[in-house]
């Protein structure tokens, strides 16, 4: 059996506990194993972003624990947590993923630089990552000169750069047309298959959901269903 | 990399950054101008006092300073004068016989200080020849000629050739009265002194006072280079061992105070300007931080720790300040250098200023020490105004920042 990479245990998030409490996520148990390709779906406001943020250590659960690759996130100090994210988790957001003043190459190289990778090695890796997402011809373009789909692919390349265990993506295709969305999903699926990287992404898009091998549905902050499927 | 990102970040909004940089330039330039202009005014005042009234160094009999009695003299003035005159560090030397007494005209009487002067050497020092508005500078050739100030002339309704009587005590404590004829009316830069200072020929006053030849009450020295003030003062002390030798700073401590207080003034003016600039810079940087909340959230999410975020925002502010400061300093320095040479004519306003001892040409000047103060204050501003926006950026919570997407 593959090893557990994400273990969300009894995770609860309550906003405004004193005034008008919002139970964004309630008592969620999720186990995800290495190499899974999981879609997180549910109506708007069901808690998808909240759950993803807690799994990525961007937000602290009100109750429960999140264990990533054996590390309990709530026990890490703020700076340790940032360092943990740098080395173990890749993020792709809906928009504003890239540093606007840096070129594609520099954006992808940035995390590697934060990890103090030597220049030669870094440049080689950046180039191969941009090849993986089919953007080797855009290495010197700034985000503003790229389409939304191209920006998201660079974001995926950047998320991959530090060789993370998991990539968390919150509605990565929400701003893309269906062709770009399909293209992005194909790249993610390829990386998942070839490099055994675990993907967990939230989405509203039916066509994107079909590409997942496992679909977790949230309703009102609770897991409503959790099913395996054959991607089409 | 952070240096590069910070540098590029400030050029994302070029016009905004340029506004900040130019406001720093203008602020510092204006500050330097105000300070150098004020210093020019002060310097004017000081020079007026030093060159026209005090001279750089004065020598007296120690008791003369106390009692103000002409019987306390410097003996052998002539040989002392000769020695000082032959010194090429010295621009001019004059001796004076000084008595206090009373001037009586047909209308009224008032107290005066009577200076017995040497008309030739005093053209370089008291310079009455340049200040005469009526008459000729000791032109009558007669012993009983007197020069009086315009203010005194008005008070006594005196004209050229009017007769006045001076009354004073001689060295034998006898009361002496002597008649004089007004040979000239002067108007100096210090109108209040014009009412009390009258000038007569030294030989004549000496005789009236019954002083011995070569006895004087005051020797005033004008030097060529202010840097040599201390060494010439010490030299004079050895030359006239029993006398009291004072430089202008000791003679007029209030002038020294002006110089001291100007340092404080520099701190206050540059402090105020930089404080105003700080608000502008902080405001702009806060705006730029708020605009980038999502981006900063993303940076924290992908692994940029708070120390680095803080550093990056600090750098952006410091870049802006450090671009403006040197340019402002350079422009200020150039302005001071050029105007310090050409001078600024303020004769439009000098009517009033003249009565306070100011001349109408102002030569702005600022010494190195003041520039150093301004540079230091600039650096403090750069750092202080950088801290707050960077601190604000730290308070962002990544998940909330990202949610703004
Ligand atoms: N900072 C907050 N303060 C208070 N309530 C919040 C906050 N953030 C989220 N919520 C609430 O928590 C609930 C879950 O929000 P969340 O953003 O996780 O939903 P979502 O499933 O991602 O929705 P969407 O599909 O629209 O992105 C919502 O009811 C939302 O209003
Ligand atoms: Mg969401």
- CA dist B132 → B94, B165, B188 (Å): 20, 21, 8
Distance of CA A67 to the CA centre of its chain: 16
Which pLDDT score is estimated for B258? 82
Which residue's alpha carbon is at the smallest distance from atom 17 of ligand 1? Answer: A49
- CA dist B152 → A130, B111, B204, B355 (Å): 95, 10, 22, 15
The residue that leads in pLDDT, B263 or B158, is: B158
Q: What is the pLDDT of residues A26-40, one digit of tens each?
A: 999 999 999 999 999
* Ligand 1 pocket list (CB less than 6 A): A 15-16, 22, 24, 42, 44-50; B 400, 403
Mean pLDDT of B212-236: 91
Written as six digits, the tokens of B355 are 């009565």
Which pLDDT score is estimated for B358? 53
Mean pLDDT of A107-133: 92
- A96 CA to centre of ligand 1 in angstroms: 19
Which pLDDT score is estimated for A66? 95
Question: Which chain A residue is nearest to residue B294, measuring alpha carbons?
Answer: A96
**Helix B368-394 to helix B14-47 angle, to the nearest 10 degrees?**
150
Q: Which candidate from B8, B295, B303 shows the least CB-CB separation from A114?
A: B303
pLDDT higher than threshold 60 for residue B356: no
CB of B313 within 8 A of CB of B390? yes
- CA dist B151 → B117, B118, B188, B208 (Å): 20, 23, 10, 26
Q: What is the pLDDT of residues B157-172, one digit of tens each?
A: 999 999 999 999 999 9
Cβ-based contacts of B302 with chain A (< 8 Å) = 85-86, 91, 110-111, 158-159
Which pLDDT score is estimated for A232? 80
CATH 3.60.15.10 fits A4-97+165-228, yes or no: no
In degrees and rounded to multiples of 5, residue B126 shows phi and psi of: -65, -35
Lowest mean pLDDT among A193-202, B130-139, B183-192: B183-192
Q: How far is A74 from chain B (nearest CA, A)?
A: 15
CB within 8 Å of A73: residues ≥ 6 apart: A57, A65, A66, A67, A81, A84
List the 264-303 stretch of B: residues with Cβ below 8 A of A. 294-295, 298-303
Q: Which atom of ligand 1 is nearest to the CA of A47?
A: 18
Written as six digits, the tokens of B350 are 């000098």
Which pLDDT score is estimated for B203? 93
pTM, two decimal places: 0.78
Indicate whether this complex's ipTM tops 0.85. yes
CB within 8 Å of B340: residues ≥ 6 apart: B36, B40, B363, B364, B365
Mean pLDDT of A167-180: 90
Terminal-to-terminal C-alpha distance of chain A? 25
CB atoms near residue B159 (< 10 Å): 11
A82–B304 CB contact, under 8 Å = yes
Which pLDDT score is estimated for B38? 87
Task: Give the integer Cα–Cα distance in Å for B307 and B394.
Answer: 8
> Predicted confidence band at A154 (pLDDT cuts at 50, 70, 90)?
very high
From B398, B403, B405, the mutation candidate for ligand 1 (largest count of ligand atoms within 8 A of CB) is B403
Task: Give the integer Cα–Cα distance in Å for A134 and A224.
Answer: 37
B301–A91 CB contact, under 8 Å = yes
Which pLDDT score is estimated for B405? 46
CB of A100 within 8 A of CB of A144? yes
Calculate the CA dihedral of residues B275, B276, B280, B286 and round it to 10 degrees.
Answer: 40
Beta bridge partners of B58: B220, B246
Domain boundaries defined on chain A: 4-97+165-228
Average pLDDT, chain A: 92
Mean pLDDT of B22-45: 89
């Amino acid at each position: 059996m593959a090893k557990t990479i994400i273990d969300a245990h009894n995770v609860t998030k309550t906003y405004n506990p004193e005034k008008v409490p919002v139970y964004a996520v309630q008592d969620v148990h999720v186990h995800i194993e290495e190499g899974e390709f999981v879609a997180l779906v549910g109506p708007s406001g069901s808690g998808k972003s909240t759950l993803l943020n807690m799994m990525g250590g961007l937000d602290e659960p009100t109750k429960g624990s999140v264990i990533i690759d054996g590390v309990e996130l709530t026990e890490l100090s703020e700076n340790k947590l940032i360092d943990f994210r740098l080395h173990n988790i890749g993020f792709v957001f809906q928009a504003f993923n890239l540093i606007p003043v840096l070129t594609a190459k520099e954006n992808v190289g940035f995390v590697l630089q934060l990890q103090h990778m030597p220049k030669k090695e870094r440049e080689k890796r950046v180039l191969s990552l941009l090849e993986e997402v089919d953007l080797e011809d855009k290495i010197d373009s700034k985000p503003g000169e790229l389409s939304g789909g191209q920006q998201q692919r660079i974001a995926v390349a950047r998320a991959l750069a530090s060789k993370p265990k998991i990539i968390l993506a919150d509605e990565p295709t929400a701003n893309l047309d269906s062709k770009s969305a399909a293209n992005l999903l194909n790249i993610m699926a390829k990386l998942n298959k070839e490099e055994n990287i675990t993907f967990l992404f939230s989405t509203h898009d039916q066509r994107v959901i079909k590409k997942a091998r496992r679909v977790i549905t949230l309703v009102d902050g609770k897991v409503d269903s959790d099913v395996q499927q054959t991607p089409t | 990399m952070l240096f590069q990102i910070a540098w590029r970040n400030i050029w994302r909004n070029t016009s905004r950054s340029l506004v900040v940089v130019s406001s720093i330039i203008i602020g510092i330039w204006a500050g330097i101008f105000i300070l150098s202009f004020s210093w020019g005014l002060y310097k004017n005042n000081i020079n007026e006092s030093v060159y026209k009234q005090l001279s750089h160094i004065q020598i007296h009999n120690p008791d003369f300073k106390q009692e103000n009695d002409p019987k306390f003299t410097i003996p052998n003035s002539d040989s002392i004068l000769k020695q000082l005159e032959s010194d090429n560090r010295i621009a001019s030397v004059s001796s004076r016989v000084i008595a206090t007494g009373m001037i009586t005209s047909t209308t009224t009487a008032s107290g005066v200080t009577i200076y017995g002067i040497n008309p030739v050497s005093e053209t370089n020092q008291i310079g009455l020849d340049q200040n005469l508005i009526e008459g000729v500078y000791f032109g009558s050739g007669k012993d009983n000629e007197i020069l009086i100030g315009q203010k005194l002339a008005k008070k006594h309704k005196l004209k050229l050739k009017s007769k006045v009587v001076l009354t004073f005590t001689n060295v034998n404590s006898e009361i002496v009265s002597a008649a004089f004829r007004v040979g000239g009316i002067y108007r100096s830069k210090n109108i209040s002194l014009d009412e009390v200072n009258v000038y007569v020929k030294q030989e004549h006053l000496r005789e009236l006072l019954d002083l011995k030849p070569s006895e004087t009450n005051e020797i005033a020295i004008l030097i060529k280079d202010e840097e040599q003030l201390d060494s010439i003062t010490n030299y004079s002390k050895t030359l006239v061992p029993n006398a009291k030798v004072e430089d202008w700073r000791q003679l007029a401590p209030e002038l020294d105070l002006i110089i001291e207080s100007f340092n404080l003034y520099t701190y206050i003016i540059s402090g105020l300007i930089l404080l105003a600039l700080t608000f502008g810079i902080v405001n702009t940087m806060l705006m730029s931080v708020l605009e980038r909340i999502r981006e900063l959230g993303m940076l924290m999410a992908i692994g940029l720790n708070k120390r680095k975020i803080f550093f990056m925002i600090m750098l952006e502010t410091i870049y802006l300040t450090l671009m403006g400061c040197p340019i402002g300093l350079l422009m200020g320095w150039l302005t001071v250098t050029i105007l310090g040479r050409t001078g600024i004519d303020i004769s439009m306003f000098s009517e009033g200023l003249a009565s306070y001892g100011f001349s109408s040409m102002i030569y702005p000047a600022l010494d190195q020490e003041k520039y150093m103060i301004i540079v230091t204050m600039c650096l403090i501003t750069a750092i202080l105004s950088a801290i707050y926006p960077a601190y604000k950026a730290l308070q962002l919570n990544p998940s909330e920042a990202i949610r703004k997407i």
